[in-house]
Each structure stands twice: as C-alpha cells, then as structure tokens.
Amino acid sequence: MEITMRERADWMTQLDDEILELLYSSELVLSPSIIAFNIDRSREGVADRIATLTNYGLVKKVERGKYRITEEGGQYLQGKLDASRLE
C-alpha cells in the first residue's frame, strides 16, 4: 500500500482527514450525522469541522445539511495539494 504524504494546514485536525477520507471513498453526498456515525465521532464535532472544510473549499455544501468532497479535497488526500496554501 502506497503512503501519500499530505501537506496539512495548521488549522486542520485529524478529524478533517477522517471526514475527507469518508467522503472521498464513498463518492456520496452525506450529512454530518451519517459521517459521524461512520467514523465514530460526534455529530457536533463533524458539523463544526465540515463548516471549516467548506470555508477552505475542500468540501462543498450540496443542499441544506448535505455535503460532498470537492476536487481540491480529493487533491489534498492524494498529496497533490498543500492545504496550507488555501485561504
């Protein structure tokens, strides 16, 4: 298995990676509750981090309470995007 070196920004947490990995691997539009259930985290914590990930363009709000990973989010997971350069 190949290990990808990701350039995480100072504002990012391990939870951010877990959220992005689930959205990327599922290729689905998911709610914070469904994400939290699948990664065994709190819905509140996931919702808070999704708001941050959305602000930085790694996740996109599809409609109220539903999110998907963006192309940039996928590039970050693949080690092709330095998240510290996002504004």
Which H or E element spans position 19?
A: helix 14-26
| Position 87 pLDDT exceeds 80 | no
The rounded distance, in Å, linking the Cα atoms of 80 and 53 is 17
Token duo for residue 15: 């939870």
pTM strictly above 0.85: yes
CA distances from 16 to 11, 70 (A): 10, 14
Q: Report if residue 37 sits inside a domain.
A: yes
Q: Report if residue 44 sits inside a domain.
A: yes
Are the CB atoms for 79 and 4 separated by under 8 Å? yes
Comparing 51 with 1, which gets the higher pLDDT? Answer: 51
The rounded distance, in Å, linking the Cα atoms of 28 and 37 is 15
The total number of structural domains in the chain stands at: 1
**What pLDDT sits at residue 76?**
94
Are the CB atoms for 83 and 56 separated by under 8 Å? yes
Q: Report if residue 70 sits inside a domain.
A: yes
Structural domain of 21 = 14-80
pLDDT tens for 8-60 read: 899 999 999 999 999 999 999 999 999 999 999 999 999 999 999 999 999 99
**What pLDDT sits at residue 1?**
42
**What pLDDT sits at residue 5?**
75
